[in-house]
Amino acid sequence: MTIKMSTEKNWYSLIMLAEMFPMAGALLGCLLSWLPLHYLGRRATLQLVMAPLLTAGCCLMFMFHHVAKAVSPILLLGVTLQGAALGVSFSAVPIYLLEIMRLPQNIYTNTKTASALIVTTELSAAIGNLLAQIFLISPNTQYLHLIPATIMTMSALGLCLTSESPRWLLLFGQRVEQAKGSLHFLKGHSNTYHDIHQLLLWFQKDEEQFCATKTNTAVVKTYLRALSVATCLLSLPGASGVHIHDFYSKWVFKFAGDFITEKTISLSVVRASIRVVAVGIASGMLFVAGRSTFQCLSLITSTAMISIALCATGMCLFCLEQGENWMWAVPWLPLVIHLLFQTVFWFGVGSQAFITAFHFTPTPLRPSIISLTGGLHWLLEITADKFLVFMIDTIHPFGTFWFYAGTSATGLILTVFVVVPEINRHGPRTNVTCDDVTDVL
């Protein structure tokens, strides 16, 4: 049986152009995020770059729906601004959280929740995506676009009550008094003079080790190792075949029966709800476990299950194209595989790959490495979207699923033999004490 998806292909081709603009904006914003992070500061980047761009993007989308529906460039400009803000926040949010939470253990010991808090930002993004899907099927959609604009404006005001990163204040901002106030805000007591000295020594040690002016073989090797690990981790989502599964989700539900259709419930809402539940479970488990072992096991298990699900779905499609009738006896099988794929993807690869890359990149190298590898991540997302219909037409649907099963299996091998050994060898940089800094200097 040949599965004809011409309607879905035409629909996908039409919306693909609109999806390219936010992803292109995210690519540009991620590559340029190190500039505001270095010159404006971590918190100031979130205040002056991310929130205004998101607010402007939401307002422009409101204008498109309510004022000038015929002027499509307004919509494209709005989604591009939103994408650029997403690219900047992709780097700024984890860098800011890790720098204010992962100070030396003898100064600030609450480091176990850093990864869980970053996953919580992923959960916020998942909830926002769910609300966006609900907005699409709701009446008076043009007014609902003002809700995220209001939320982001309130977030920008709320950032005024937070503290700037002490690392940036001491090393780049040259603001010792503000660094004392920031440290007092983080610690909750006023005896910060000795702590400022400890922090300054610790930060200077990192900068001298990784940002030396002369060429240093050890620094180059460390940078390349961190870059390779982050590249492997941030390439996993794009190589996991989530686009082809989303593309065939309507067929999966239709093949299973008529109990869920677009008339009863939006399938995009179902996928977004699965994402919220899976990321929420991952966030809760990280709050409880909070160790690198859990992150590594989650990535390995998720990538392995994704490969199996892609192989199984490809086999189902191959059997249908060959005219085998046994598939009609188990019409629920593709749906079960699809739900399993969505759950394990967002529990592991879709959320924790980013967290692991942020967590185990050395702090002085984090802005540049995350900027580069984040740009690679968005480039892979654009490429996967651009060539999806072409791959389906060229190597057939089952061949496309098997192709992504191969790329996911390759990601599993890289995770087991490259990422996990590197993480176990070095671990997060949280155990540096003042005595260690004195010995090095």
The predicted structure's pLDDT at residue 431: 37
Q: What are phi and psi of 106, to 5 degrees?
A: -80, 0
168 found inside a domain? no
Provide the token pair at 43: 């918190």
AA letter at 291: R
Contact 313, 401 (CB under 8 A): yes
Number of residues assigned to the chain: 441
CATH of residue 241's domain is 1.20.1250.20
Mean pLDDT of 44-72: 65
Q: Give me the number of domains the chain comprises.
A: 1
Q: To the nearest whole percent, how much of the chain has pLDDT over 70?
A: 67
Cα-Cα end-to-end distance for the chain: 71
Predicted confidence (pLDDT) per residue in 78-87, tens digit? 777 778 888 8
Mean pLDDT of 430-434: 35
Measured distance CA(367)–CA(346) in Å, rounded:
25
Question: Of the segments 71-75, 208-212, 412-416, which one has the largest average pLDDT value?
Answer: 412-416
Using DSSP's 3-state secondary structure scheme, residue 157 falls into: helix
73 found inside a domain? yes
The predicted structure's pLDDT at residue 114: 65
DSSP letters along 269-330, please?
A: HHHHHHHHHHHHHHHHHHHHS-SHHHHHHHHHHHHHHHHHHHHHHHHHHHHHHTT-GGGGG-
AA letter at 159: L
* Domain that includes residue 260, residue range: 6-162+211-440
Q: Would you tell me the crossing angle of helices 366-386 and 6-31 to the nearest 10 degrees?
A: 160
AA letter at 196: I
170 found inside a domain? no
Predicted confidence (pLDDT) per residue in 356-378, tens digit? 888 778 777 888 888 899 899 99
111 found inside a domain? yes
| Model pTM score | 0.80
216 found inside a domain? yes
82 found inside a domain? yes
The predicted structure's pLDDT at residue 433: 35
The predicted structure's pLDDT at residue 216: 63
358 found inside a domain? yes
Between 105 and 413, name the one with better pLDDT. Answer: 413
Between 287 and 400, name the one with better pLDDT. Answer: 400
366 found inside a domain? yes
Q: Is the pLDDT of residue 22 over 70?
A: yes
In 3D space, the residue among 41, 406, 16, 426 whose CA is nearest the CA of residue 240 turns out to be 406
Mean pLDDT of 258-287: 76
Measured distance CA(127)–CA(132) in Å, rounded:
9
DSSP letters along 107-133, please?
A: T----TTHHHHHHHHHHHHHHHHHHHH
DSSP 8-state symbol, 349: I
Question: Of the segments 3-7, 137-141, 186-190, 238-242, which one has the largest average pLDDT value?
Answer: 238-242
Contact 37, 367 (CB under 8 A): yes
